[in-house]
């Protein structure tokens, strides 16, 4: 893994965090603190050795740097200049980056050259191109070309009906994606691609030159370049897995950003103005890591994320203007929102009254979607074809790709026919020429093949109803969103579970992005949407690893944490799943022994038996047995989680922002209520030093 040290002044922290996050998305390790390079060693020696071992040095110049007289950056720059003078043969490790328009220092680097004479990267002129240039220097094998785009068809330009707003709605899906805005009549307007179609496949295909296609053109080339085509990118978001294309490796964040950037380009070409901000949908049970990764992908595409909203919640907002016709205003109305997309399944239970949408429960499965129904048909067909051909013949990668696309077509065909055929014409067989292959598939066989998948769908639905404590008979409307809910076996399942309950299917294709559009109206003050209120809920639980409950000494502390991490085998939940937000929870912990405590903050999923994931570790040094410490979790309306930890032994209060690195927490910057709550629990924190909030999910943090 390539390493980069970034030298900057603190006034540029926000933009440098963004830079670091985008480099990290390319698999580059970033140091933002010189003490992190080799803890315990002199930083000068650490930087020199890192450069000698192949690390890169990025110097971030700005007006803020020029105006400062004494900075740590000057010390680091002096070291870099010494290295430049000694390494005349290769200076590619030094990358000057200009954050805003300013004059570079005219400091000599020897041989009549100065810092100003080195070719720099002016990020302020073109951020995306600047990132591309930096990455091409650091990771030449990951050289990305440019998006290849067809000319925009006649008649696919804005005709003046779309208002001037830079806040758009983006639904980045596993199989298809789209971008939309609220038009002048405050109705969702889907922005078309160059070919005039609103939805584009979330597919990227690379040419041998590493230029790439996105969407329909990429899908058409998939059979030509099967080993250079990437599907189902969304399923990889938040994972460490990289996709290998030719000699380069690309993270899911980078690949996702290519799709989002294509949507952005579609919108800008259509509207004739920049698109800079967006509401973005995400699966309701995305983990903190996955949500942060998705946000970074959108930011990498050059769009600021204003808010991430769960897909079923977004879809439910399209009921605005529909429910008053179905129920008396002023009374509760229970809605079950189901969203089965290409790669994820989300369930949300809502209580709707007047213009208030309150989420009662959420559940889902990030590994369940329409693509899995395609997969069972693909596997069935592949097995039958290989059995027919025998061991001497195998399908080429191109034929396998054609077979995958045929499986998708057959799945759709079974929605209206009792039987269909999966056709694979002109398959070249060694010594036998070309042959047409086909496999007959019936509805009954598809039911059998998808029994397990349908069982997973039912499990998620019952899980959400169980969390909400609502009997299925009390549901008054089932909202269906996503193409997966057109699969006939899923339709049959929903009808069996809710036989006499109305189903809303009118906007199934674009339910999520339609709802997001309505919410852009809420945030921008559109008159028809002004009264609309979404009482969202957190999608996962947050807990602390602690000693088992039986080991607790008294009732004055909610949980105990041992200095020996192996004893902390139980999870104390400080924020239950599906808690209505904004919310605030304060708890008191205790030390189960004397010593430094490393407290693990974990996230639980929406499914039973779903493994916990570690969000961050909190160090509590110097605790003695029976010491108390305070914990508070704040969640604002943007679902931004801030964890406050008060350590009376050190007289310090630490803040940790667990998610939404692109947002500043609303009301989470001050621990004033924390002090009051802890005083009632017997802990006085008056006069404690409040340290700056650490953004756990921030780009570059902890790398």
pLDDT, tens only, 675-698? 666 766 677 767 778 777 777 754
The answer to whether the CB of 534 falls within 8 A of the CB of 503 is no
Q: What is the pLDDT of the chain when averaged over all its residues?
A: 85
Chain center to CA of 325: 36
Residues 345 and 265 in one domain: no
Q: What pLDDT score was predicted for residue 668? A: 46
490: which 2 tokens?
């899923």
Residues 116 and 255 in one domain: no
Task: Give the residue carrying structure tokens 């980078």.
Answer: 254
Residue 637, phi then psi, degrees to nearest 5: -65, -20
pLDDT band at 701 (very low <50, low <70, confident <90, very high): very low
Structural domains in the chain (count): 4
Q: Which helix (H) or strand (E) holds 622?
A: strand 613-623
Residues 605 and 635 in one domain: yes
Q: What pLDDT score was predicted for residue 372? A: 95
* Beta carbons within 8 Å of 405's beta carbon, 6+ residues apart: 222, 223
565 is a domain residue: yes
Residues 521 and 640 in one domain: no
159 is a domain residue: no
The CATH code of the domain that includes 479 is 3.30.420
The answer to whether the CB of 267 falls within 8 A of the CB of 198 is no
Is 50 exceeded by the pLDDT of residue 415?
yes
222: which 2 tokens?
């998939």
The CATH code of the domain that includes 265 is 3.30.420.40
> pLDDT higher for 434 or 37?
37
290 is a domain residue: yes
Is 90 exceeded by the pLDDT of residue 169?
yes
296 is a domain residue: yes
Q: What pLDDT score was predicted for residue 156? A: 52
pLDDT band at 18 (very low <50, low <70, confident <90, very high): confident
434: which 2 tokens?
């070309």
Q: Which structural domain, as residue segments, surrounds residue 230?
A: 167-303
Residues 137 and 222 in one domain: no
Residues 553 and 685 in one domain: yes
pLDDT, tens only, 324-335? 544 454 567 899
Q: What pLDDT score was predicted for residue 499? A: 93
Contacts of residues 619-623 at CB distance under 8 Å and 24 or more positions apart, as own/partner, are 620/561, 620/591, 620/596, 620/645, 620/647, 620/649, 621/596, 621/597, 621/647, 621/649, 621/650, 622/596, 622/647, 622/649, 622/650, 623/563, 623/591, 623/594, 623/595, 623/596, 623/597, 623/647, 623/649
122 is a domain residue: yes
Residues 545 and 515 in one domain: no
pLDDT above 70: percentage of residues in the chain: 88
670 is a domain residue: yes
Residues 14 and 41 in one domain: yes
If you average pLDDT over residues 333-353, what whole number do you get? Answer: 91
Domain boundary among 533, 554, 576: 533
Residues 294 and 343 in one domain: no
pLDDT band at 428 (very low <50, low <70, confident <90, very high): confident
Residues 275 and 317 in one domain: no
The CATH code of the domain that includes 94 is 3.40.50.10140
| pTM for the predicted model, two decimal places | 0.81
Q: How many alpha carbons fall within 13 Å on the CB side of residue 312?
A: 33
Give the 3-state secondary structure of 347-400.
EEEEEEECCEEEEEEEEEECCCCHHHHHHHHHHHHHHHHHHHHCCCCCCCHHHH
Domain boundary among 125, 142, 159: 142
The answer to whether the CB of 235 falls within 8 A of the CB of 174 is yes
User: How far is Cα 699 from Cα 655, in angstroms, rounded to an integer?
Assistant: 17
CB burial readout 21-34, b (16+ within 10 A) else e: bbbbbbbbebbbeb
Domain boundary among 464, 499, 533: 533
210 is a domain residue: yes
pLDDT band at 670 (very low <50, low <70, confident <90, very high): low
Is 50 exceeded by the pLDDT of residue 139?
yes
* Beta carbons within 8 Å of 452's beta carbon, 6+ residues apart: none
Residues 525 and 559 in one domain: no
Is 50 exceeded by the pLDDT of residue 702?
no
pLDDT, tens only, 595-650? 888 899 998 855 555 678 888 888 888 888 888 898 988 888 778 888 889 888 88
pLDDT, tens only, 252-310? 999 999 999 999 999 999 888 889 899 999 998 888 888 888 988 998 888 989 889 88
Q: How many alpha carbons fall within 13 Å on the CB side of residue 572?
A: 24
179 is a domain residue: yes
Q: What pLDDT score was predicted for residue 355? A: 76
Q: What pLDDT score was predicted for residue 408? A: 92
The CATH code of the domain that includes 572 is 2.60.34
Q: What pLDDT score was predicted for residue 661? A: 67
User: How far is Cα 3 from Cα 24, in angstroms, rounded to an integer?
Assistant: 10
Residue-level length of the chain: 703
Residues 174 and 258 in one domain: yes
């Amino acid at each position: 893994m390539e390493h980069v040290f970034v030298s900057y002044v603190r006034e540029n922290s926000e933009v440098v965090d963004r830079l670091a996050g985008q480099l990290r998305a390319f698999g580059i390790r970033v140091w933002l603190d010189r003490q992190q390079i080799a803890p315990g060693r002199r930083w000068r020696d650490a930087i020199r050795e890192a450069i000698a071992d192949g690390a890169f040095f990025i110097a971030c110049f700005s007006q803020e740097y020029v105006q400062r007289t004494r900075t740590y950056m000057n010390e680091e720059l002096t070291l870099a200049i010494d290295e430049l003078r000694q390494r005349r043969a290769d200076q590619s490790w030094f990358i000057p980056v200009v954050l805003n328009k300013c004059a570079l220092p005219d400091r000599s680097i020897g041989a009549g050259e100065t810092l100003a004479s080195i070719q720099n990267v002016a990020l302020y002129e073109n951020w995306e191109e600047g990132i591309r240039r930096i990455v091409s220097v650091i990771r030449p094998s990951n050289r990305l070309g440019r998006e290849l785009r067809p000319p925009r068809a006649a008649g696919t330009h804005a005709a003046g009906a779309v208002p001037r707003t830079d806040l758009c709605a983006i639904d980045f899906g596993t199989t298809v994606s789209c971008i939309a805005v609220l038009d002048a009549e405050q109705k969702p307007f889907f922005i078309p691609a160059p070919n005039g179609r609103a939805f584009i496949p979330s597919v990227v295909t690379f040419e041998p030159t590493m230029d790439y296609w996105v969407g329909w053109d990429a899908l058409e080339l998939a059979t030509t370049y099967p080993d250079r085509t990437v599907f189902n990118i969304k399923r990889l978001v938040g994972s460490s897995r990289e996709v290998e294309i030719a000699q380069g490796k690309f993270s899911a964040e980078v690949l996702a950003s290519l799709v989002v950037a294509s949507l952005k380009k579609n919108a800008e070409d259509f509207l004739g103005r920049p698109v800079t901000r967006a509401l973005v949908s995400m699966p309701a049970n995305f983990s903190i890591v996955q949500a942060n990764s998705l946000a970074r992908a959108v930011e990498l595409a050059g769009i600021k994320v204003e808010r991430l909203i769960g897909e079923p919640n977004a879809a439910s907002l399209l009921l605005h203007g529909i429910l008053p016709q179905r129920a008396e205003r002023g009374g509760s109305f229970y809605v079950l929102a189901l969203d089965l997309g290409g790669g994820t399944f989300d369930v949300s239970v809502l209580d709707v009254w007047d213009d208030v949408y309150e989420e009662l429960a959420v559940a889902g499965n990030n590994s369940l979607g329409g693509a899995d129904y395609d997969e069972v048909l693909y596997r069935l067909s592949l097995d039958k074809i290989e059995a027919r051909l025998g061991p001497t013949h195998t399908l080429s990668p191109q034929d396998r790709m054609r077979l995958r696309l045929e499986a998708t077509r057959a799945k759709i065909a079974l929605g209206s026919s009792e039987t269909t055929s999966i056709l694979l014409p002109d398959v070249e067989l060694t010594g036998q020429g070309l042959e047409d292959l086909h496999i007959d598939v019936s509805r009954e066989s598809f039911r059998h093949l998808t029994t397990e998948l349908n069982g997973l769908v039912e499990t998620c639905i019952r899980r959400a109803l169980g969390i909400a404590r609502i009997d299925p008979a009390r549901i008054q409307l089932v909202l269906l969103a996503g193409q997966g809910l057109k699969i006939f076996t899923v339709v049959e399942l929903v009808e069996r579970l809710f036989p006499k309950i109305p189903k809303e299917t009118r906007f199934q294709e674009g339910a999520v992005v339609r709802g997001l559009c309505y919410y852009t109206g809420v945030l921008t003050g559109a008159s028809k949407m002004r009264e609309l209120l979404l009482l969202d809920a957190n999608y996962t639980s947050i807990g602390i690893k602690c000693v088992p409950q039986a080991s607790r000494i008294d009732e004055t502390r909610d949980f105990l944490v041992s200095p020996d991490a192996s004893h902390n085998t139980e999870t104390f939940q400080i924020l239950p799943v599906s808690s209505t937000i904004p919310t605030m929870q304060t708890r008191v912990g205790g030390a189960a022994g004397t010593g430094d405590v490393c407290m693990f903050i974990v996230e639980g999923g929406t499914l039973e038996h779903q493994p916990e994931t570690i969000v961050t570790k909190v160090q509590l040094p110097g605790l003695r047995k029976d010491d108390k410490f305070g914990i508070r979790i704040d969640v604002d309306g943007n679902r931004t989680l801030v964890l406050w930890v008060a350590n009376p032994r050190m007289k310090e209060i630490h803040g940790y922002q667990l998610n939404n690195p692109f947002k500043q927490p609303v009301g989470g910057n001050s621990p004033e209520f924390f002090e009051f709550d802890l005083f009632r629990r017997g802990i006085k924190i008056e006069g404690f030093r409040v340290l700056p909030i650490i953004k756990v999910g921030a780009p570059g943090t902890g790398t």
